Amino acid sequence: MMKVLIVDDEYEIREGLRKRFPWGEYGIDTVYSASDGDEALQMAQELKPDLIITDIKMNRMSGLEMLHELQMMEPNGWKAILISGYDDFSLVKQAIHLGAIDYILKPINMDEMHRIVRKATDQIRQERLEQQNKANIVYQVQFAVPKLREELLKEMVENEYDPYRESRIAHRLKSLNLEWLKESSLLLMVVEGDDLKALANRQVLTAEKELVLFGIGNVVSQTLSEELSVPSALFRDSTERWVAVIQCLDQEIMKMCLSVAEICLQRINQFVKVKASIAVSPVPKELKHLHTLYVECGDSLEQKVIYGGNRVFTESVDGQDCEYEQMSIREPDAVLDLVRYGTETDIIESMKGFEDMVKSWELLSLKDIQQQIFKWLMEIYRAAAASGWPDRSWERDPIGLWERLEQYDTLQSLQRHVQESLLVLAGNFRAMQTSSSQIVQEAEKLIRTRYNENLSLQYVASMVHVTPIWLSKLYKKEKGRTFLEDLTGVRMMRAKDMLGDMKYKIYQVSYEVGYKDPVHFSKLFKKLVGVTPKEFRRLRGIMDD
């Protein structure tokens, strides 16, 4: 519905129009009136009429002056019709310049009045409709752009690069404000919830799975916006993983991305209360190699079946323990293995992550940071004592440990003090002559006897009481090969024996040697042996059905 304001200093004309004209026929439900321009200007500002019908000449402020003032204060949202007792087209021209859409002469002809009011109300409705359409378009675009971005990014990462579509892709990138993707090298970060299929298989938790996925995306999005200083785009792929494309200008950005991935993982654990695995592409590449980066990250994530999840992978570990090369000092158990089995160089190198660890605590005051470092050191000392470290000075005099930490008021000096403490602890363990050979021998025995199970580096490490990173390092040091290489070698040797027996189908061989996916088994067999399992049999004169 609409509102009209009638302005005329002649009472009969003003009230006659207000009471006798059938305003409701034109969608006008409220009619106001004013006796002069001053009163009308104030009412127009307060009541916001859609249509103003005003005499041109009035005492005090004229209709033209009133429209001029109103246009200065409220330039939009109203239409005006002029009433004049003078056939003065110069005044009418001024009125139209001020926003009037038509005029009518006194004495008012009611047929003419009907025509002009119909014209005005039709125009008001048309403009309202256009405004609504524009608002709808803006609203739709606000929701459509993220969806269009997601579809474009999914298309680029999930399909191989096609040079014939390059110009089309470039146009779409520009229209979606993603031109930065073409300007420099890119990194990919793929985030996957661990064991989400278990949620989907439990009907009562189907909705919970979607909430978990939403929560993971929320955490990653928030972390990227807070921690990264370069553009990034986050979307969900066809396999329900969150994928972030990140602009990588230099090596510092690459290091920052790894740190951000660690923070994402920590926050997912803390706020979404689930475990997740994150793959970060090891080398930045151009836009046309986006699919390659995506495949590399997918390959890395597949390795969690061997090594366990809830960690950051930096590249595929098919044949090596790459994701464990970068040692972490965040967990006391990891630090304990570092001081028991690592060299001084290992400890010094690992302490380069001290600053990132402290920043991840998100503490603002020096005292809070000192207290957290104190707790962290005490946990390490407790773990060391449980492993046979005889020194109990930290337990008898914890205040002394705290007072030593209080002496340092910069992150760098605290880092140096902690590093010295860990080096001393490592020296104590070396004096105890801790042997690593027995640990590797126990792990090797597990591989030889249980190769057909779903063994992972993480599981075997827990069985021999070390962290996965140190089992990986010790295994490589003692055996000259990685854990995965040894496990795969044992499985392939057994597979060759079984393939020589006609009673086993190839898929049965796959299951029996520990691979639940026969396709993956066949690909891995060909990669390592040089022929497929079927070809291997044929070379030995065995023909499958």
Question: Would you kindly state where each structural domain of the chain is located, as residue ranges?
Answer: 2-131, 159-316, 332-431, 442-539
Tokens of 472: 């990986």
Residue 465 to residues 305, 310, 333, 458, Cα–Cα distance (Å): 20, 19, 10, 10
Q: What is the CATH number of domain 2-131?
A: 3.40.50.2300
Reference 245, options 148, 156, 141; nearest CA is 156
Distance CA 271, CA 442 (A): 37
Q: What confidence score (pLDDT) does residue 327 get?
A: 62
DSSP 3-state assignment of 1?
coil
Mean pLDDT of the 263-280 span: 92
Tokens of 489: 């070698």
Given a cut of 70, whether residue 143 has pLDDT beyond it is no
CB within 8 Å of 45: residues ≥ 6 apart: 70, 73, 74
What is the pLDDT of the chain when averaged over all its residues?
85
> Dihedral of CA 343/348/351/353: which sign?
negative
SS3 content of the chain, % helix, strand, coil (to 5): 65, 10, 25
Q: What residue has token string 């600053």?
A: 355
Q: What residue has token string 């001081």?
A: 339
The pLDDT confidence band at residue 305, using thresholds 50, 70 and 90, is low
Reference 174, options 199, 210, 148; nearest CA is 148
Tokens of 137: 């378009």
Q: What confidence score (pLDDT) does residue 375 get?
A: 93
- pTM for the model stands at 0.44
- In tens, the pLDDT along 395-444 reads 989 999 999 888 888 888 899 999 999 999 988 888 776 556 778 888 88
Q: What is the CATH number of domain 159-316?
A: 3.30.70.270
Which one is predicted more confidently, 367 or 208? 367
- In tens, the pLDDT along 199-230 reads 555 444 556 788 899 999 999 999 999 999 89
Distance CA 296, CA 186 (A): 13
Its CATH class, for the domain covering 442-539, is: mainly alpha
